[in-house]
Structure 1
């Protein structure tokens, strides 16, 4: 296990539980109990490179950890187990994805909740593969908060990338996915057509406004009702460039982390079928004041708070 002592640190107000922050509840113990959150870093952006994006996301997991450290603990039985990073040796993305998948399967098989800090959005296929192996006979739903469908067919001679995850998943059979925040100016007609052919449902970024929240809730609830377990993946390029400048593909008209977003995001998090979540595409090379990493950390922390609130 790598030494994360200097990463998991923050303001120390005391040893009593009422003072605790996340860094005081980190465990490296491999003994998983049901409902434990177990974290892996996916320190990989080979898929971004293959997808002709701006590399640098492989350096994000530890920076996100740092930005998670100081959040206050609001429930007494909270614990976060950190199982370290997965790396990509010799540009072998497929091996790195398989390694993460195997680790995720082990976590879920013991009743834990899987949290992954990316890394590029090639984490999606890896994370899903681990969930699928853990729940082979159950319907797995995916909510993808993203400006992009990430449903490209792998390029011949290049292979899988950060943009092919949902195409790969669809080859496994029926796909149960809802893509929220899709931008018309970020996806070709071919990608929309692929979404339609495979039954990938979506909500455009233009549809995310306060008066439309009942419809958004309904679409989310319909997917939850259709599946047995749920996986949430957040590509940080779904957000506006002003609050998430550190990504591979900037979105000038992306989402803001405002009241509308918070409402439907928490609506997702409070559902007991949610067993796995990741954040992807934080790129520290292009970040400003770690604001993208801080936002990603905040999104993960929202799950910690909402999961325990509903338990």
Structure 2
């Protein structure tokens, strides 16, 4: 999966695949290393009645990350492999990822997770909370959906319940960017308001409004101790991200406006974790969605 064009060993021509290290020992993580894991799970999507297939995403995203050039002499990326879901036990898979993330953050690494369904978010956050129990963790969710449905006794957790699960613990601090009015019921908006989930709807994401977008992001990050960014790929327009669980004809684009506020988030000194969710290779076209996901991760690697 980690392979690409080899132009030699000079630092001027190195690419990601030449520097990534396959690892299984958390003791080898050094300060500020990027540490990657795959969450090869879409049981939460299945429970949420979405299109399954996202479990196959991690390696496709890795493949599309491989050939990017390395632009920093201090680049260090460790790959700890994939967490999988056995016998439909989503909760067990989430706990495995949570424990791994906790180990990474405890070693002062920077956590990257390639999903998988958006059930990855609750697992990733849980790991951050284990490692930093006394820190105020802020979540920026770039997504068309709030993912704040209530967990039912019959079904359990899904890809759409993560934020309500955190809210029920009484410790939710979130900003949601790209919310679609036609993808969230009034009940979900009401739940967001009651639990102080801040948000920017997709219609607000235009160039002339960048100052407001920046102000909203800065006001949010000022109030937290550490920052975690989660991106659900169904926020993007179906023309550039066709391979998702729920394709969006009116989704946003990775245009100048998006890249400006996206890089603004990545450049925040409080950011310690990032994940990509809902890439579904089964429905992708020419690996467009996987390539976009890989490019978004690469932006953090090169910030």
Tell me, yes or no, whether TM beats 0.5: yes
* 1:208 corresponds to 2:205: yes
Given the alignment of the two structures, is residue 271 of structure 1 paired with residue 268 of structure 2, yes or no?
yes
CA distance in 2, matches of 1:156, 1:41: 28
How far is 1:174 from its partner? 3.0
Q: CA deviation at 1:172?
A: 1.4
Secondary structure of the residue aligned to 2:228 is strand
Distance 2:128 2:216 in 1: 23
Consecutive unaligned residues of structure 1, counting only runs of 5 or more, are 1-6, 307-311
Aligned partners of 1:264, 1:182: CA distance in 2, in Å?
Answer: 15
TM-score by length of 2: 0.98
The residue aligned with 2:235 is: 238
The structural deviation recorded for 1:175 is 1.2
Equivalent positions of 1:94-113 (< 5 A) are 94-113=91-110
User: Deviation at 1:16?
Assistant: 1.0
For structure 2, the 5+ residue unaligned runs are: none
Q: Secondary structure at the match of 1:211?
A: helix
Alpha-carbon distance in 1 for matches of 2:209, 2:84? 41
1:19 pairs with 2:13: yes
The aligned length equals 300
TM-score, normalising length from structure 1? 0.96
Among 294, 298, 301, the residue aligned to 2:298: 301
Match of 1:145 in 2: 142
- Answering whether residue 95 of structure 2 is matched by residue 93 of structure 1, we say no
Q: Does 1:257 align with 2:248?
A: no
Give the match's secondary structure for 1:101: helix
User: What are the equivalent positions in structure 2 for 1:104-183 lying under 5 Å apart?
Assistant: 104-183=101-180
Confirm whether residue 8 of structure 1 aligns to residue 8 of structure 2: no
Q: CA deviation at 1:177?
A: 0.3
Using the TM superposition, give the Cα deviation of residue 237 of structure 1 relative to its aligned residue in structure 2, in angstroms.
0.2
Q: Distance in 2 between matches of 1:263 and 1:56?
A: 31
3-state SS in 1 of match to 2:12: helix
C-alpha RMSD of matched pairs (Å): 0.6
Aligned to 2:30: 33
CA–CA distance in structure 2, aligned partners of residues 146 and 156 of structure 1 = 26
Output the CA distance in 1 between the equivalents of 2:270 and 2:19: 24
* Matched ranges for 1:41-120 at <5 A: 41-120=38-117
Q: Shift of residue 35 of structure 1?
A: 0.7
